Amino acid sequence: MAGSMTGFRNLIDALAAAPGDRPFVTAWIDEDEQETVTFAEFRRRSRSHAKMLSEHAVRVGDRVIILMPQGIPAMTAFVGAMMLGAVPAFLAYPNFKVEASKYRSGLAGVTANLKAKVVVIDVAFPEEMLGHVSISEEARLLRASDNKNLSADVDLPELERHSESLAFIQHSAGTTGLQKGVALTHAAVLRQLEHLAHALRVDGTKDSVYSWLPLYHDMGLIACFMLPMVYHVRVVMQSPLDWVMHPETMLQIISEYKCTLAWMPNFAFQFVPRRTPRTRWAQYDLSSARALINCSEPVRSSSMREFENAFSPIGLKSGTLQSSYAMAENVFAVTQSDVNRPSSPKQICVDGQRFRSMHLIAPVAEGTPGAISFTSSGRLLPNNEVRLLSDSGALLAPGHVGEILIKSDSLFAGYYNRPDLTAKAIVESWCHTGDLGFTLEDELYVIGRKKDLLIVGGENLYPQDIEEIVASHPAVHDGRVVAMGLYNPDLGTEDIVVVAEVEREEILTDTAEVERELRNLIVAGIGVAVRTIFLKPPKWIVKSTAGKAARSTTRDKLLKEHPELNVESGESSTNDRRRTTDD
């Protein structure tokens, strides 16, 4: 495949070409504490990390795992590894909720699968999360000290023929996600960035990115780290936890640094206005923003409207809110809405009845009774193609709902060391996304998922990880557990709901203790809180012909029995249940 039009052979070349005195990363801790590094200083610190890695025998092609909190040292360690031609992977930093033994076993699995040479941790890394049994036998543990004043005097290998080699590996959450290391070449990443930068008219002299997105997630890594690095754009970044505990800081940072671009999952578009006291909105100014892109969860027009209504009085311009459909397997974006359109992404109203019964998109006038609305994720980026496939595998025409398949010049090289999983995902050069959607007038609309995957706050979670934990409880009938995501209009994202069959009917007389234990187990295992647990009598869960719990039919049964959970249909009346923070 042809190299990139950016003219860079690899990502390190692109960084080398950045103007040294331009600010690159600002790490925002709070209003009294920030650190900014220029491109020159970022290169120097990356070289000093390269030196440290090189002294520990890291060479071209070696895998390097980075377990550091969100911040500049994690980023320079990542780039330092790439400078050596090694292949870095960010993994999530331990969350205090997750039990040490669970974290260790996940880490052991992923280091073994990657055959990682080293695991880089920060000085404050919690000891109990490691232990020498935690990492596979070949992997060495390196504690990265603060490299501000360390020497950067290192001989870097010549990487001129390095464009088709792997640049890095990206993982999603959970033990299942850790088995799927999305391996990406320099060339694929550069091609993706070129398409994206063109679609967004990125200009390093004028733009700056705001981000709270984790670096192990494609939005954080590609849109908010690699794109700024290759196109020489400043990024002002905070940690995801700091943001989620103080969502108002997004308004504060964009106002202060006059950021122009940001990516966020759908829920953030209502989380920020609802969780920022209304009395403080007027302190901020969003007039610098030119594209705030809704990405990584299905786009809801109600969430977009809520953000726009809240913040247009503080300078948010019409047409700033955008949408994109992205996935790590394509490096990042497949589509991007048109940033030159004077209003936000296209929205259509369709006949609800025909949508539900025939999976057919029949546009109707806005306000038609029974209509449901969808928001477009935009047009395909250049050299990206989509196909829609029916359940029986037939190719669908525009206006029909089916599974989205993609093909592009930035598709991943495979799941690292997992040809079995790669062969399932890519069939005859088409990547089966597991997402459901349709095309209409050359725009792609993503409406949900075919595969069983929960997306909570933009993060992917695999239901089987939760089900396995719940099934391990003695009161729960083994294998009779279904975890699912149900849309919560108050949060703008999915809630995790678990249905489990108890071993014996009498357990149902007092479920409080079992529920409490299940919650503890889930949070200790994967660090997430479950919204609701339904304990049901034996034989309640619908089984498939193979005797396994059938997720979709069980979900239907639960929604029938608990109609209060069924809020999926329609985009209307989502504001009725809102909580306000200004009382």
Partner 1 sequence: MTEEEQQMIEYIVRLIRKPNVSIDENTPLVSSGLIDSMALVDLLLKLEDLTHKRIPAGKVQPKDMNTVALMFATVERIGKARK
Nearer to partner 1, 141 or 523 (CB): 523
Nearer to partner 1, 115 or 516 (CB): 516
**What is the rounded distance in angstroms from the CA atom of residue 25 to the CA atom of residue 210?**
10
Minimum CB separation of residue 241 from partner 1 in Å reads: 7
- 178 Cβ partners below 8 Å, 6+ apart? 91, 106, 109, 110, 113, 171
Nearer to partner 1, 271 or 416 (CB): 271
**Vertex 386, ends 383 and 389: CA angle to 5°?**
160
Residue 199: DSSP 8-state: H
Question: How far, in Å, are 112, 199, 330, 337 from residue 346 at the CA level?
Answer: 45, 16, 23, 8
Judged by beta carbon, residue 194 or residue 495, the one nearer partner 1 is 495
Dist. CA 140–CA 519, nearest whole Å: 35
Q: Give min distance, CB of 77 to partner 1, in A.
A: 21
Q: How many CB atoms within 10 Å of residue 501?
A: 23
> Which stretches of the chain bind partner 1, using CB under 8 A?
28-33, 95-97, 238-239, 241-247, 249, 267, 271, 275, 277, 457, 491, 493, 511-512, 515-516, 519-520, 522-524, 528-531, 579, 581
Residue 390 or 472: the one with the smaller Cβ distance to partner 1 is 472
CB 29, min distance to partner 1, A:
4
Q: Do residues 549 and 482 make contact, with C-beta atoms less than 8 angstroms apart?
A: yes
Min separation Cβ 244 and partner 1, Å: 5
Q: Which is nearer to partner 1, 512 or 546 (CB)?
A: 512
CA pair distance 141, 147, nearest whole angstrom: 17
CB of 555 to partner 1, least distance (A): 21
Q: Which is nearer to partner 1, 31 or 478 (CB)?
A: 31
The CB-of-83 to partner 1 minimum distance in angstroms stands at: 29
Nearer to partner 1, 39 or 267 (CB): 267
Distances (CA, A) of 98 to 124, 136, 533: 17, 20, 19
What is the closest distance, in whole angstroms, from the C-beta atom of residue 260 to partner 1 in the complex? 22
Show the DSSP H helices in 479-511 as ranges.
none
Nearest to 378 by CA among 344, 348, 408, 335: 335
C-beta closer to partner 1: residue 85 or 457: 457
At closest approach, how far in Å is the CB of 340 from partner 1? 34
The amino acid at 520: N
**Within 10 Å of residue 567's Cβ, how many Cβ atoms?**
16
Strands across the sheet with 291-295, in order?
33-38, 23-30, 234-237, 208-211, 261-264, 291-295, 321-326, 333-336, 379-380
Beta strand segments in 31-75, E: 33-38, 63-67
Residue 191 CB, nearest approach to partner 1 (Å): 35
